[in-house]
Amino acid sequence: MGCSTIDSLPECCPIFPIFWSSINVNSSPGQILTLLTSPSLSVIVSNLANLHSFPGRLSVCGGEAGNVQWIGVPGEIRGYEAAHRLYGKLPWADLFQPTIKLAREGFPIPYYQGQHIPRINNTSIRKLYLDKNGNLLKTGDTVKFEKLADTLEMIANEGPDVFYNGTIAKNLTSDIQDAGGNLTRKDLELYEAKVTDAWNISLGEYKLLILNIMKGYKMESEPKTTDEKILFYHRYIEALKFANELKTNISDPNFSSDEMAKKLTQDSFADSKRSLISSDKTRDPGINLYLDSIGTTHVSVLAEDGSAVSVTSSINDESIRLRVLSPSTGIILNNQLSDFCGRADSSLLRPPSNMAPSVLKSPSKTLVIGGLALMNHLWFGKSLKEAIITPVVLVDSKSEVKPEPKLEKDVVDGLEALGHKIAKFYNTVNAVEKAGSCISAWSDERKKGKAAGY
């Protein structure tokens, strides 16, 4: 029978169900969910808001990101169901077996996770990482998630409805309400994954959604000297600041016009913003009201039938502070509704996302990617490995510039001299590409990742 990239997702994605997800799929006939050839479809999976339960909270976000009332409906299972219905080949139950096996029998704790386990101060979550003598597990030790294995097995055998309408829904909402949250069985029952048309945006021979501001600088080669690197990163940072300012203009298209969102993709709009970027100083972008949303898992998959999947998932990094592990299901809950901070109160909206998993198509290539390496690969001709290991920068909601530690000190000093506020940052990304008959892949070594094939 064979399998498609969709069939790989429950196996490839993390051992904890991470429940805000964007799934982009390119099927073999040329159809793409989300990106970017016609006809286009998009499965956008997010958390159905329960804001009617706590009106006014959006005006007092601040340090409340860990509040249990920010828990939204976990949407990833419905998203996988929709994608599998469209393009899956294997039986639904088969998709979960590798993950169930890992959760039940255990696996060695990887290096990166091992470094963060001592930072977990939540009692219920910390218990997951204790051995039989009460000692905290460390890198290389075997960790098991047997209650989660039971939950995944139930979803595999009984289908997605058991999560949203059945036993799991009952147990999950009971656990959340016992912890002081507001999520109800009705919220789960009403949840739907949305399928929408994607936009077709051209970037050279590729079709993409963003980077129009940087495209206007017509860079023909990567920056080599210190001054060239400072100018490149400075312009890129300024472009990111504009993007941050505009985030609050984007909201659930089911409840608002998409006029502003479409405007953001127009060359003329990018030209107007680029004209405001000075080469010798930064500008004060003002105050952004939204909270930073960080902490994602990304998987890029390419199958022999030509299908490709790019999926990014998150529970928000603050969720370890959320102090909610559902004891009856083994699921760590999200705090995704805090993404509404800085926005008007409403009900039934889906929260905005910073995630942009991408499937890029040109006449000769398919690129599946989920991060910040696009310019290095597409414009500067770097291999996937070189593009991914090149230092990147992030700009947060406070307009602080967060370069990776390995970015040259002279470049960082130069950016600071232009007026940028510098802080620390850690980034990972992975990608797979097919060019003609040649396939290449790279998984970020920052987390000791490795690409895998068959």
Binding site members for L-glutamate: 314-316, 339
Question: Residues 151, 296, 329, 366: which is the catalytic one?
Answer: 296
Cα separation, 27 vs 6, whole angstroms: 9
Give me the sign of the Cα torsion angle 359, 361, 366, 372.
negative
User: 327: exposed, middle or buried (C-beta count within 10 Å: 0-12, 13-18, 19+)?
Assistant: middle
Catalytic: 296? Answer: yes
Task: Answer whether 383's CB lies under 8 Å from 222's CB.
Answer: no
Task: Answer whether 24's CB lies under 8 Å from 310's CB.
Answer: yes
Name residue, tokens 């970015």: 407
Binding site members: 314-316, 339
CA distances from 121 to 127, 128, 319, 336 (A): 10, 12, 12, 20
Cα separation, 37 vs 398, whole angstroms: 36
Per-residue three-class SS string for 225-289: CHHHHHHHHHHHHHHHHHHHHHHHHCCCCCCCCCHHHHHCCCHHHHHHHHCCCCCCCCCCCCCCC
Active-site residue list = 296
